[in-house]
Amino acid sequence: MYVYLMRGDHLGTAHHQVPATKAIARAAMTELLSGPTALESQAGLSSQVPQGTRLLGLSISGQVATVNLSGGFSSSGSPSSALARLAQVTFTLTHFPGVTRVQFQFQGQVVTHLLGADISLSQPVQRSDFESVLPAIFVETPAPGDAVGTSIRVVGTANVFEAQFRIELRDAGGTLVLDESVMATSGTGQRGHFDFTFPYHTHLAGAGQLTVFDLSAKDGSRIDVVSIPVVLTAS
């Protein structure tokens, strides 16, 4: 399942395995409230959801997930950290088919704003309300620690100049085994989607590093860099 954490000031993605359950959205929230694993922390992921936050209730109706969280969720923090934790919950719940919006409750009550964050919670919120929390290149697949076969699928959204950016993959020895220029469906002020699968070849099974980045129009330097550790298959 997909759990959304933070990579610095921007949203990042984690993939968690849980026992089979019909209450999959509740399981995802439980994973989110547990925070990043040791591997995810080593990969630079963290959480703005306060430790000790409890899930008091969760229901889904008419494409809206209503989530009731304990007071710890809103107990302290800055406007930016509040926006981040709201984004983490919203993205985690709206990953499930049929859920497009999230209504927040705290101790069973709807509040207008959280810790000064510039977003109204009086009505359900959606992913597009959190554009400021997204990185320019947002990779949802793969996530840290994912094992990939002899090809790698890279999925996400991007808002970069002319919708174009680059993908690199290096094996455990640092050898460049994939180097591609790709395009999202839109860019330059409008977020577009991307979904690419590329074969690669390496003799070194094990640790690898996927890096996505844009090139500065000013000086050609790398910008908007996101690096994700993955597990490669020898071929």
Q: What is the pTM of this model?
A: 0.94
DSSP-derived letter for residue 22 is S
Distance of CA 128 to the CA centre of its chain: 14
Contacts of 126 (CB under 8 A, 6+ apart): 90, 94, 100, 101, 102
φ, ψ at 88 (rounded to 5°)? -60, -45
All domains in the chain, ordered by first residue: 2-133 (no CATH), 137-232 (2.60.40.2550)
In this prediction, residue 190 has a pLDDT band, given cuts at 50, 70 and 90, of very high
Residue 55 has what pLDDT?
97
Whether 76 shows a pLDDT value over 90: the answer reads: no
Q: Which pair of tokens denotes residue 153? A: 């699928």
* Model pLDDT, residue 36: 97
Give pLDDT, residue 133. Answer: 97
Q: What pLDDT is recorded for position 115?
A: 87
Query: In the structure, what pLDDT confidence band is assigned to residue 123 with cuts at 50, 70 and 90?
Result: very high
| Residue 232 contacts residue 206 (beta carbons within 8 Å) | yes
Cα–Cα distance list, 42 to 7, 133, 140, 170, 171 (Å): 11, 21, 18, 18, 18
The pLDDT score that the predictor gives to residue 150 is 93
166, 216, 159: which is closest to 191 by C-alpha?
159
Handedness of CA 166, 171, 173, 178 (dihedral sign): negative
Using CB atoms within 10 Å of the CB of residue 189, give its burial: 0 to 12 exposed, 13 to 18 middle, 19+ buried.
exposed
Q: How confident is the model at residue 143 (pLDDT cuts 50, 70, 90)?
A: very high
Cα separation, 14 vs 27, in Å, equals 14
Tokens found for residue 104: 């927040």
Look at residue 217 in the predicted model and tell me its pLDDT.
Answer: 85
pLDDT of 21 strictly over 90 = no
